[in-house]
């Protein structure tokens, strides 16, 4: 019996070693080594590529919104000229509010960066101070640009008034579509 015990213990030891060897090498998922994604799918966003990720982007985003489609739908809901004029006034008011919000944010950012420049200068962190001064210059340039944009809005510059013209075009298209639709219904009823 001693021999059989020795043989069985040896076989069990071999099974345990094989199991231990297999446990040491974990199964690695395929996605760690193979990229099965569509090579033509572009995950980058143009707003991330061209945006500054600073408050001025709020104004640019507002100017690039699709006012033509909004106006088209507004015309279908209420084809009244006074409704169009009120909506144009609201758009202009919203733009002015955004200007105020963004300028206020920049004022806060500049005030905060001035504090950091002063305190880091006193601590002798000259490299950091230079970086902060550079960032402050960027903020000041943005404030200057925002002030120019506000002036251009009042002067009627095309790039600032394009959203209003886009709204006008969309509203006109909506009116035309509504008229054509009504004419088709009238012609079909005859």
- List, for residues 123-139, the tens digit of each pLDDT value: 999 999 999 999 999 99
Quick check: 98 pLDDT over 60? yes
Quick check: 27 pLDDT over 70? no
pLDDT value for 23: 52
Nearest to 162 by CA among 89, 66, 56, 97: 66
Q: Which long-range contacts (CB under 8 A, 24 or more apart) does 147-150 make?
A: 147/103, 149/59, 149/99, 150/99
Section 55-71 average pLDDT: 94
- List, for residues 135-190, the tens digit of each pLDDT value: 999 999 999 999 999 999 999 999 899 999 999 999 999 999 988 888 877 666 65
Name the pTM for this structure.
0.67
CA distance 92 to 86: 10
């Amino acid at each position: 019996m001693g021999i059989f015990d020795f043989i069985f213990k040896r076989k069990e030891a071999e099974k345990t070693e094989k199991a231990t060897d297999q446990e040491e090498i974990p199964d690695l998922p395929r996605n760690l080594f193979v990229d099965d994604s569509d090579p033509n799918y572009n995950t980058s966003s143009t707003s991330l590529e061209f945006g500054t990720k600073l408050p001025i982007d709020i104004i640019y985003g507002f100017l690039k919104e699709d006012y033509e489609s909004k106006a088209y739908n507004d015309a279908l809901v209420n084809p009244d000229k006074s409704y169009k004029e009120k909506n144009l006034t609201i758009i202009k008011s919203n733009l002015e509010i955004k200007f105020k919000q963004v300028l206020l944010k920049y004022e806060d950012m500049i005030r905060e960066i001035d504090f950091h420049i002063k305190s880091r200068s006193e601590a002798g962190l000259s490299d950091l101070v230079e970086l902060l001064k550079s960032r402050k210059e960027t903020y000041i340039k943005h404030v200057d640009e925002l002030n120019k944009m506000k002036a251009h809005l009042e002067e009627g510059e095309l790039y600032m008034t394009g959203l209003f013209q886009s709204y006008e075009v969309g509203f006109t298209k909506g009116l035309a579509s509504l008229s054509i639709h009504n004419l088709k219904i009238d012609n079909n009823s005859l």
